[in-house]
Amino acid sequence: MPLLPDVESYDDLVGRFRWSVPDHFNMGVAVCDAWADKDPDREALVYAEEDGAATSYSYGELRRLSNQLANLLKSRGIGPGDRIGVLLPQRLETAFAHIAALKLGAITIPLFTLFGEEALSYRLKDSGARAVITDGGGAAKLKGLRNALPDLTAVFCVDGDRDGAEDLAAHMRGHEPDFSPFNTRADDPAIIIYTSGTTGQPKGALHAHRVLLGHLPGVEMSHDFLGQPGDRIWTPADWAWIGGLLDVLMPALFLGVPVVACRFKKFTAEAAFQFLQDQNIRNAFLPPTALKLMRQVDRPKERWTLNLRSVASGGETLGAELIDWGRRTFGLTINEFYGQTECNMIVSSCAQLMDARPGIMGRPVPGHRVAVVDASGKIVPDGTLGTIAVKKPDPVMFLRYWNNEAATAGKFAGEWLLTGDRGIRDGTGWIRFVGRDDDVITSSGYRIGPGEIEDCLLKHPAVAMAGVVGKPDAQRTEIVKAFIVLNAGFEPSSELSGDIAEFVKTRLAAHEYPREIAFVDALPLTTTGKVIRRELRARAVSELKDG
């Protein structure tokens, strides 16, 4: 059942919304068994192959499979509080593995299939994982790590017995389809999601079962009230990250919205358009990088027939160019949302309730107290640059960092969780994302956010993708440097550099144009599609040393 009331204005939404978080709540039960009890044949999950073949699974099937896995894990001595890694791409087993672990009262750990052995070893050792559910590729990576992971007693493989892993289906087959879920409290630990981090080793953000309820208002708002008849959702974002798992998979299952899963061998814009058409997707979470790639496709409206009702995007601020392109291409306004692993879906736009403001990500989602504060946690005046912060308690807020009390303490200033992101709030509550603390460029006394420049660059006909950073400069502290991937048909040249710089200078501001431009074949991206600006900054600094 949706959490948001049916309203016609944002102010009414905020005024009428109230949290309803029970003392006891189990995420696995809420996204699976609750529907299976009422309507076991209701479609829950669709696994679609790249060639278009699709298999549908009901809530009743999800309950049976997750119960069998929960019984298997229990038979191996794994129980409440134990950690279980899920090293799988988007597929049926990924969903019921998380659900089984949650119903067992265990703590699930989503793991990205492209992690190397070092990344896996750190996460599994730090968490003390007792079991891992994986595929053939994951089993091969884990084979050489087992001796260094004494807590890891069971590895089950969806592709059969191999590399020391046991055949998941064969071992589940002998277990009962009934299981009595552990009666977890809403504040009991449920998920550890490791953040990529900008420095040092990743930190494990530990979330409670209530995190699902905390996500729902933002998910519903960013999809123009997700849960309407006929809704059907997909994202290319991997379920190993909070954007795929808790912005799409779990909330959609809770709301009774079918989730379409697919593992693209390689994401391409053409394949995405084809998938949206073939699977009749009504709701999509498309990260900014995916949108930028899709924007490069010629004549999409003539080549594909889409039936989208909502598109949401988060991770980086969208500018006017992508918003306008989305309206032309999808026939709707892309809703932006904002959050981070520790406290997600706290700001959103909603085309059904408010006009989009390109470059400004949205307003606080009902139930979340979001402000812009200084380093001590004091709210700064509207229009002043500060740190975006969220006041505790909040259902979507993490419990703590796993095994890292110092980092947990450093995340807060009094009652405010500090996101580490810089922003500005206006008098009506809209919040503009300016950049990470280390992304903000200081040039000749100006503080410049890279997002606005990148958006302007995308409007130039030669520019396919852009990443903007500050390069140290003796005179100006920093200068704006742009790393640019060109569209087909354009070649790097000093003339083109000058034209692009002038393009920004005349459209944005004289102090914000890139004084240096580097043409590159590709930009460094995180696994969730964000530009890794620290790598670009490192390149810019190395140029000074080399020079």
Predicted pLDDT of residue 395: 98
pLDDT of amino acid 274: 95
Q: How confident is the model at residue 236 (pLDDT cuts 50, 70, 90)?
A: very high
What percent of the chain lies above the pLDDT cut of 70?
Answer: 98
**Secondary structure letter of residue 331 according to DSSP:** S
Residue 201 confidence (pLDDT) above 80? no
Is 199 a residue whose pLDDT tops 50?
Answer: no
pLDDT at position 321 is 87
Min mean pLDDT across 41-50, 136-145, 195-204, 292-301 is at 195-204
Is the confidence at residue 198, as pLDDT, over 50? Answer: no
Query: The pTM is what?
Result: 0.87
Mean pLDDT computed over every residue of the chain = 93
Domains of the chain: 22-209 (3.40.50.12780), 438-546 (3.30.300.30)
Q: Is the pLDDT of residue 159 over 80?
A: yes
Which residue has tokens 């997707």?
A: 281
Pull the structure tokens for residue 257. 């919205």
The Cα 133–Cα 162 span in angstroms is: 13
Concatenate the DSSP letters of all residues of 344-359 into one string: EEEEE--TTTS--BTT
Q: Provide mean pLDDT across the span 204-223.
A: 98
Mean pLDDT along residues 70-93: 98
Query: What is the rounded average pLDDT of the residues 464-478?
Result: 89
Summarised one tens digit per residue, pLDDT across range 328-361 is 999 999 999 999 999 999 999 999 999 999 888 9
Q: Which range (219-233, 329-343, 502-516) has the least confidence?
A: 502-516
- Positions of E strands within 281-429: 283-285, 310-314, 335-340, 343-348, 363-364, 370-373, 386-391, 400-401, 412-413, 416-425
**Could you give the percent of the chain with pLDDT greater than 90?**
79
Confidence of residue 200 (pLDDT cuts 50, 70, 90): low
- For residue 420, is it left (φ>0), alpha (ψ between -120 and 50) or beta? left
Confidence check: pLDDT of 117 > 70:
yes
451, 319 contact by CB (below 8 A) = yes
Q: Quickly state the pLDDT bin for 401 (edges 50, 70, 90).
A: very high
pLDDT in tens, 28-61: 999 999 999 999 999 999 999 887 789 999 999 9
pLDDT of residue 476: 82
In order of 184, 185, 252, the CA distances from 25 in angstroms are: 6, 5, 17
- Which is more confidently placed, 479 or 199? 479
**Least-confidence region, from 86-90, 92-96, 290-294, 459-463:** 290-294
What confidence score (pLDDT) does residue 111 get? 95
Interval 241-250: pLDDT, tens:
999 999 999 9
Helices 450-458 + 494-507 axis angle, to 10: 120
pLDDT digits (tens, 9 = 90+) for 174-188: 899 999 999 999 999
Q: What pLDDT does 262 receive?
A: 94
